[in-house]
Amino acid sequence: MFMRFFTLALILPAAVAYFGTALAQDAPDSVLRGTKQFSKRVLTSGLTGPWELTWGPDGMLWVTERSGKRITLVNPASGERRVAITIDEVSAPGGQDGLLGLALHPELLKGTGNDYVYAAYTHVDESHGADATIADPKSPYRYLYAKIIRLTYDQTRGILSSPVNIITGLPAGNDHVAGRLKFGPDKKLYLTLGDQGNNQLGNVCLPVESQRLPTQKELDAKDYASYVGKSLRLNPDGSVPKDNPRLDGVVSHVFTYGHRNPQGLDFGPDGTLYSSEHGPKTDDEVNILKGGFNYGWPHVAGLKDNKAYEYARWAEAGTPCAQLRFNDLVIHPSVPRAPESAFKKRFVEPIATLFTVPSGYNFHDPACKGIDYICWPTVGASSVEHYQSKGKGIPGWERVLLVTTLKRGSLYVLPLTANGKAAAGPMSRYFQSENRFRDTAVSPDGQTIYVATDPDGLAEAPGGGTTRRMRDRGAILAFTYTGEGTGAAADDPRPVSEARLPDSDERTSAGGNGMATGILPQFTAAQAAVGKTAYNSNCAVCHGSSMTNGTFGTPLAGEYFRNVWFGRTVRAFYDRAHKTMPPAAPASLPKDSYANIVAYILELNGFKAGDAQLAAGGEALDKMAIR
């Protein structure tokens, strides 16, 4: 496996060099172990999905709570927190939507009258019409859109109020929403939008449109459907800057295109714009964004090297896509595909990838027991922050990028060249823990790095394998530099092949370890068919279309499902689904929908349909055993 770093350049037909150290396939990555020493403090915890973390001009940490719908201010000394506003119209039905990006006006609290704060979030907006790709009229995503609003801050009362719409009708969906929002040194707003997770999992039959550019007709109609897979540049009032790039003859909000899920965005002091982006199974990217340029997705992941990635176009399959089961490891022969080298247009290379592996790499590691994506080379790059020590911060970090990761529960430090235009060496890894790191902020003296963590999800356990028990749930962690190490700050982690199996607490949290006896599950084929539609609308984005290929939730089929649920009652499984799903709004679906979804899951796990319907809870389910 390789960590690769490159100079910023346009891909041309030429050989590409990379640097890095090849490691055994079961090694977690090719980075160096960090040697700086830090103390750790849990500043606060119990936040509902902290997503954006920003140091404000008032000396407070400003936090968006993705599913909590709140903008919260946290005192970096005491951890005391207060809610500045709750935005009730925020809708967060899944794991990647809700209250996302936050940008503070550059003149906030400077006495100019521009005490403004901008927020990006998803909400239900029927005025823009239904998403034609969503068949289920009850789907919470049918009318889901994104918007940016402007709020006014009253420092005396410590509240945000007077919301003003800046732009509405932006695309949003159940996956790859992105949503990072920043003010640039040019006093323009920059926003990232993902590709909506198309061409995979529950959205497999929808084409990726990251390469599609808006037409003048769409722009005039304020139809922003083509903004998926793009970064945007906006005036603070939401209008299109006159000096935005002209792409296919149109000047729109689009700044760059060809992106997958760019969740990280930050400016260097010279105006260089850095972004981090989630890759598929390989090649999370660190990019430098330049207006008007193409970043290659979905034709290329990382470099155009034909390594471990092909662009498979499921929507164009010879066999109707709806009849196929998505599997990006064994692609159905009727699905057209192309190697990266088939893409002939110019595009911008990443300055680093996390991480690249050769073709033929085994993406199914038995240590992860069916949760394969945790063992993939990607790390889940969730944010990026430019850092300079400026002689008073952390020695040796003269110019680096801080990249948080979801899967690895770590902070990666990428050194940059003096001009900030290229990577200057291999990454170092810090703070590895059973957490999902979401975003960072840095104290003005550069000595403390604050890290926001997810309240739940799946991550790599420090000893290898997977865990769903987060160590610091919904927390802000403070890591303060204390000195230099010896060059061996941490032991090498055990190889994944020696890792423990999924946590035994999975069975405990699912309802106990006792073995149930009883009749086999009873459900009808028609019920399972209805359940399939409901599952694809509400569950597939996290658990996967095959229930074993999800990239957020645990598998609901195969070996992992057997380890956790065989020997349990159907009622225990139904109750778990009803009480905890969807994550942002448990028990929000009709009870019959939960019963139908459970029926479909059971059918996919080999249980046979019969004449009796599965009840929506109750004692009848106690008599049925998953065995």
Per-residue pLDDT at 99 exceeds 80: yes
Cβ contact 431:39 at 8 Å: no
93 and 234 housed in the same domain: yes
Percent of the chain scoring above 90 in pLDDT: 67
pLDDT per position as a tens digit, 235-272 = 999 999 999 999 999 999 999 999 999 999 999 999 99
Task: Identify whether residues 228 and 117 lie together within a single domain.
Answer: yes
In this predicted model, which residue has the larger pLDDT, 612 or 512? Answer: 612
| 541 in any annotated domain | yes
Using the predicted structure, report yes or no on whether residue 168 has a pLDDT greater than 60.
Answer: yes
Q: Specify the pLDDT at position 76.
A: 97
466 and 512 in a single domain? The answer is no
Number of Cβ atoms within 10 Å of the Cβ of 418: 9
CA torsion, points 425, 431, 437, 440, in degrees to nearest 10?
-70
State which of 484, 517, 550 marks the end of a domain: 484
Domain count, the chain: 2
**Mean pLDDT of the chain, nearest integer:** 87
**For residue 500, is it within any domain?**
no
Residue 442, domain member (yes or no)? yes
Tell me if 497 is assigned to some domain.
no
My answer on whether 343 and 381 are in the same domain is: yes
Averaged pLDDT, 224-229: 98
Q: Are residues 338 and 383 in the same domain?
A: yes
Q: Sorting pLDDT into bands at 50, 70 and 90, what band is 11?
A: very low
Give the DSSP per-residue string, 107-122: TTTTTSS--EEEEEEE
Residues 116 and 21 in one domain: yes
Residues 10, 13: Cα–Cα separation, whole Å: 10
CB 159 within 8 A of CB 203: no
Q: 225: part of which helix (H) or strand (E)?
A: none
Residue 492 has what pLDDT? 33
Q: Flag whether 492 is in a domain.
A: no
Q: Assess whether pLDDT exceeds 70 at residue 372.
A: yes
Which residue did the predictor score with more confidence, 362 or 270? Answer: 270
Last residue of a domain, one of 428, 454, 484: 484
Residue 123 appears among annotated catalytic residues: no
pLDDT tens-digit readout, 432-443: 999 999 999 999
Q: What's the CA gap between 175 and 417, in Å, rounded?
A: 34
Q: What is the pLDDT of residue 551?
A: 59
Element (H, E) at 142: none
Judge whether 144 and 93 are in contact, CB under 8 Å: yes
**CATH number of domain containing 15:** 2.120.10.30
Cis peptide before 320 (omega within 30 of 0): no
More confident residue, 16 or 607: 607
Neighbours of 505 (CB within 10 A): 11
Q: Is 351 inside any structural domain?
A: yes
* Measured distance CA(168)–CA(257) in Å, rounded: 20
CA nearest neighbour of 348 among 9, 6, 16: 9
Please check whether residue 251 is in contact with residue 240, taking contact to mean a CB–CB distance below 8 angstroms.
yes
Judging by DSSP bridges, how do beta strands 159-171 and 178-183 pair with one another?
A: unpaired
Using H for helix, E for strand and C for coil, what is the string for 228-271? CCEEEEECCCCCCCCCCCEECCEECCEEEECCCEEEEEEECCCC
What is residue 375's predicted lDDT score, i.e. its pLDDT?
Answer: 84
Q: Domain residues for 231?
A: 2-484
Question: Are both 244 and 286 inside the same structural domain?
Answer: yes
Q: Domain holding 535: CATH number?
A: 1.10.760.10
- 362 — pLDDT class (breaks 50, 70, 90): confident
Cβ neighbour number for residue 431 with a 10 Å cutoff: 19
Report whether 451 contacts 431 (CB < 8 A): yes
* 426/390 same-domain check: yes
Annotated active-site residue in 105, 123, 128, 176? 176
* 408 and 480 share one domain: yes
Q: Is residue 225 part of a domain?
A: yes
C-beta neighbour count of 363 within 10 angstroms: 15
* DSSP labels, 378-426: ---EEEEEEE--TTTSSTT-SSEEEEEESSS--EEEEEB-TTSSBB-S-
pLDDT at 503 over 80: no
Angle, helices 591-604 vs 570-580, to 10°: value is: 130
Is the same domain home to 551 and 444? no
On the 0-12 / 13-18 / 19+ scale of CB atoms within 10 A, 15 is exposed
Q: Does residue 542 share a domain with residue 465? A: no
Structure tokens at 23: 């490691």
Any domain includes 57: yes
My answer on whether 448 and 564 are in the same domain is no
Mean pLDDT of 448-468: 88
What is the C-alpha separation between 453 and 441, in angstroms, rounded? 12
For residues 584-608, give the mean pLDDT: 88
User: How far is 597 from 553, CA to CA, in rounded Å?
Assistant: 15
Domain boundary among 438, 454, 484: 484
d(CA 107, CA 114): 6
**How far apart are alpha carbons 36 and 451 in whole angstroms?**
17
What DSSP character marks residue 173?
-
Mean pLDDT within 33-41:
93
